[in-house]
Each structure stands twice: as C-alpha cells, then as structure tokens.
C-alpha cells in the first residue's frame, strides 16, 4: 500500500491528477485496499478513478468499465448499496 501511495503522490505531481497512468495507480491502490478488506477506502479510490476515467477516456472505454466492475465487486464483497 505504501509503495502505491508513494507512486501516486509522484504521479499526481509530475503527470497530474487526471493523467491515465495516475488514474491506473488510483485503481490499483483500490485493489490493494479491497484485498485488505478496507472496502470504504477501496470504493473511494475506485470512485476517484471512475470520475477521472469518464472525464479523460469516456464512459464506454474498457478501463472505465473495468473500474465500474471493481465498484460492483466491492459492493458484492463487503458493502451494501
């Protein structure tokens, strides 16, 4: 988790918060939180990635849709909608 957080901080500074690679790292950090069963933090990451991906890639881009799937899995695994 700490490595992803360090990477994310650098990417946000150098690439910007809505850069494709920054958003991929946000999504990956969500994966880490999900594996740790910290579903609230995972959802926070996925929602941030979704918002950015929709803005930069579009709502039907495969990466955007993958993030939608991650959100669904978080709800299925540990959160109620």
How confident is the model over 25-70, as pLDDT tens digits? Answer: 999 999 999 999 999 999 999 999 999 999 999 999 999 999 999 9
d(C-alpha 38, C-alpha 47), whole Å: 14
| pLDDT for the residue 77 | 85
| pLDDT for the residue 48 | 98
d(C-alpha 66, C-alpha 55), whole Å: 15
CA 34 to chain centre: 11
Asked whether the predicted pLDDT for residue 17 surpasses 70, the reply is yes
| pLDDT for the residue 3 | 92
Residue with tokens 């299925």: 76
């Amino acid at each position: 988790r700490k490595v992803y957080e360090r990477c994310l901080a650098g990417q946000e500074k150098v690439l910007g918060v809505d850069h494709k690679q920054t958003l991929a790292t946000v999504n990956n950090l969500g994966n880490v939180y999900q594996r740790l069963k910290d579903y609230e933090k995972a959802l926070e990451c996925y929602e941030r990635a979704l918002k950015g991906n929709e803005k930069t890639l579009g709502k039907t881009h495969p990466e955007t849709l993958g993030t939608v799937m991650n959100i669904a899995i978080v709800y299925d695994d540990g959160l109620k909608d």
